[in-house]
Structure 1
Amino acid sequence: MTAVQRVVAVTPNPAVDVTYRVAEQRLGETVRVQEVIRRPGGKGVNVARVLAALGVPVVALQPVGGPTGDLVSAGLAQLGVEAVLVPSPVETRTTVAVVDDLSHPTLLSEPGGHQPPAVWDRLVAAVARLAVPRGWVVVSGSLPPGTPDGRMHDLVAAARDAGSRVLVDSSGPALLAAASAGVDVLGPNAAEALEATGTTGLDAAAEALLDAGAGTVVVSRGGDGLTAWTADRSRLDQPAVPGVTGNPTGAGDAATAGLVAALGRGATPADALREAAVTGAAAVLAPVAGEVDPDVLAGLADRLPTSGAPPLPTTPRTR
C-alpha cells in the first residue's frame, strides 16, 4: 500500500463541544452534572483528531471567531493537531452533548453565524494552498446559516484543481452542491441522504446523488453499518462491529476518518468500508467525540461479521 498523503479536514461551521456526563437524563428536571469536558469540535475537527491518532498527516482548517474561537484554537494546539485558522468576526458556536449510560445522548447544537464573503474567500484560498496531489480534502458538517450553495462548489473545485480527492459529509442543499461539483465521495448518514434527495429508499437516494455527479456514495447507517454505491452502481454492504456500546457521538466522523485513511493507502472499497466500520466502533468506546484508541482497532477488526479484517494502519501514531 502507498503512503498516505496529507489530508485537509475542513470544518466550515466549527464549535466548542461541551460534554455533560450525568447519572440519568431527565427532561424538565434539575440534573446534576458529574463531569464536564470541553474540546474543539465540529465534524471536520473530529475527523482531523481521529486521523492524527491513526498516524495520518492531517491539517484541520476552519474559520474561528470570538472567545469560543480562541478555545478551538487553544484546544487544537493542546491536542497536538496541526491547524490553520481563518479569522472571522463571527463568534464560533457551541454544541452540548448530555450523556449517561442509559440512553442515546441528547445533543444541543447551535446553528452558528453567517460568515461574510471575505471569510469564505480566505477559506477557499487556504484549501487551494494546503491540498496536495493524491491527497484528500474532507469537508465535514453543516454550512453556516445563509451560506450560498456555490460555496461548497468552490471548496470542492479548489481541492480538485490542486490534485486532491474530495470527500464531503454534509446535508441538504450542500450535499447536492457537492455532488454537482463532481465530488469523489459523498458520506452522508441515511437520514441526510433521504432528506437531500427527497427519496424514500437508500438505493434511490444513492442513485440520485450519483446521477447528480458524485463518484461514490457511502451512507452511514449507525448500528446497522455502512453501505457504498460506486459509479458503476455496484453496492457494498458492511455490517457494524457487533456488541459495541458506549457514546455514539462522533462515531460517523471517526468512520469517515477510517475510510479516508484506507483509501489514502490505496485500499479497495471493501477494505476501506471495513476499516471505516472498525474506526467508528472504536469511537463509540471513547468518552467524547473525536477520539479513538488505536490499540483497540485490531480486536474490533477481529469481530467484524465479514470474511476477513481490514489491513489496519501500521504508521507511527501521534497523540
Structure 2
Amino acid sequence: MILTVTPNPALDLTWHVDRLTLGETHRADAGAVRAGGKGLNVARVAHAQGASVLAVSTAGGRSGVELAAELGASGVRHRLVPVVGPTRQSIALVDEALGDTTIVNERGVNPSDPEWATLLGEVVDALPGAQVLVISGSLPPGAPETLLPLLIGTARDAGVPVIVDTSGPALLHAADAGASVLKPNAAELIEATGITDPVDGARSLIERGVDLVLLSLGADGMLAVTASEVLHARLDAPLAGNPTGAGDAGVAACAVLYADGIRDPETILRRATAWSAAAVLMPLAGEISDDWPALEQRLVVAPYDPTVREDPL
C-alpha cells in the first residue's frame, strides 16, 4: 500500500477562459471542483493506475466539506482529520488561447497541536500496511518544524521508506530526517540550498543522507541524482499542455515502483518522467493520459550534460 500525507490540502477550482486579460471581466462555463493538494494528486494518480492507496489529510470549514465529498466520490481510500480552520482553496485560470495556466494558491490555516497529533495518529495506525510513505505539498504557515521529521522518523522506525515533495526549509528538514527520495523542482532546490547549480544542489541533499533526488527541470525534463550518478530524461520532441500536477504524477510513479520494491534510479526516472509528461496532456491535476507507455518509449535518457538544452516537457 502507498500511504500519502497531504499536510496542506486544497479545494481546487479550475476555470477555462478564452483569453485571460489583466484588469478585465471574464466569462466562463462552470468550473471543475475537486479535492487537491499535492499528496491527494499523488494518491489519485496511483489509485487510477491500480495501486493500493490510503490518503491521509485534513478537512475544515465549508471548503473542507466539499473536499471530503469530492474525494469520497473519487474512490480514493482516505482518512480526513476534522480541523477547525477552513481548508484552503486553489484557483486555476486556464487561458485557452495561449495554453497558459495562472494559479492562485491560498496559504492555508495551521491546524492546532491536537489536530496535528490526530493526523500523526492516523499515519501511525496505517504504517503497518504500508510499503512506502509519501509526504507531499506545502506546509501551512506556522506548522511546527518538527512535523516532517516526526512523520519521517516514525515511518523509518517502522521500516517504511519515505518520499517527500516539499519546498523551503522543510526540504532540508526532510533530508536531515532521513527521507529516501526528495523531488524538488529547480527553483525549490535553489531556494532551499542556496546553490544555483542543479547537480551540486541535489548532491548537497544526498550528503545529508537522501538516497535519490528527482529534480524537475520543467522544459528540460528531469534528473535522477544519486551519490554515484546523474541521469537526465527528456522527451524527443516538445509536448504542449497543462503542466499543473505533472510533478505529482512523477512522485506517484516513484511511489508505485518503491511499493513494488524497485529502487533502480534509471527505472524510476523513466517512469516518473513518462507519468509527468502524461499529466501534461490532461486538463486537471491528479490524472495522466493512458498514452504514458508510448511517452516512456520516446524518452531520451543519458548521463546529464548541462551544456545541452532541449525543450521537451
Question: Is TM (by shorter chain) over 0.5?
Answer: yes
Whether the 8 Å CA contact 1:223–1:240 is kept in 2: the answer is no
Q: Deviations over 1:187-238 (max 9, x none)?
A: 11111011001111112211221222322211111221111211x3421211
Q: Is 1:64–2:59 an aligned residue pair?
A: yes
Q: Distance in 1 between matches of 2:31 and 2:59?
A: 22
Tell me the equivalent position of 2:18.
Answer: 23
Q: Distance in 1 between matches of 2:257 and 2:220?
A: 21
Q: Distance in 2 between matches of 1:126 and 1:209?
A: 29
RMSD: 1.5
Equivalent runs, 1:156-305 vs 2, <5 Å: 156-230=152-226, 232-240=227-235, 242-267=237-262, 268-293=264-289, 295-305=290-300
Query: Match of 1:195, SS?
Result: helix
Shift of 1:133: 6.4
Shift of 1:266: 3.3
Query: Match of 1:95, SS?
Result: strand
Whether the 8 Å CA contact 2:212–2:265 is kept in 1: the answer is no
Q: Distance in 2 between matches of 1:118 and 1:204?
A: 39
Query: Match of 2:280, SS?
Result: helix
Tell me the equivalent position of 1:38.
Answer: 33
Tell me the equivalent position of 1:104.
Answer: 100
> Which of 42, 47, 52 in structure 1 is aligned with 2:47?
52
Count of residue pairs brought into register by the alignment: 300
Tell me the equivalent position of 2:81.
Answer: 86
For structure 1, the 5+ residue unaligned runs are 1-5, 308-319
Tell me the equivalent position of 2:308.
Answer: none
Query: Match of 2:7, SS?
Result: coil
Shift of 1:162: 2.0
Whether the 8 Å CA contact 1:133–1:164 is kept in 2: the answer is no
Query: What letter matches 1:117 in structure 2?
Result: D
Q: Distance in 2 between matches of 1:65 and 1:192?
A: 28
Shift of 1:104: 2.4
When normalised by structure 2's length, the TM-score is: 0.92
When normalised by structure 1's length, the TM-score is: 0.90
Query: Match of 1:289, SS?
Result: coil
Query: Match of 2:134, SS?
Result: strand
Q: Distance in 2 between matches of 1:297 and 1:218?
A: 19
**Sequence identity of aligned pairs in percent?**
43
Q: Distance in 2 between matches of 1:241 and 1:276?
A: 16
Q: Distance in 2 between matches of 1:203 and 1:298?
A: 28
Q: Deviations over 1:126-166 (max 9, x none)?
A: 11111246711100010010112111101111211222110
Tell me the equivalent position of 1:153.
Answer: 149
For structure 2, the 5+ residue unaligned runs are 303-313
* Aligned structure 1 segments of 4 or more residues deviating by more than 4 angstroms: none
Query: Match of 2:163, SS?
Result: strand
Please identify, of 12-21 and 116-125, the stretch whose mean Cα deviation from structure 2 is larger: 116-125
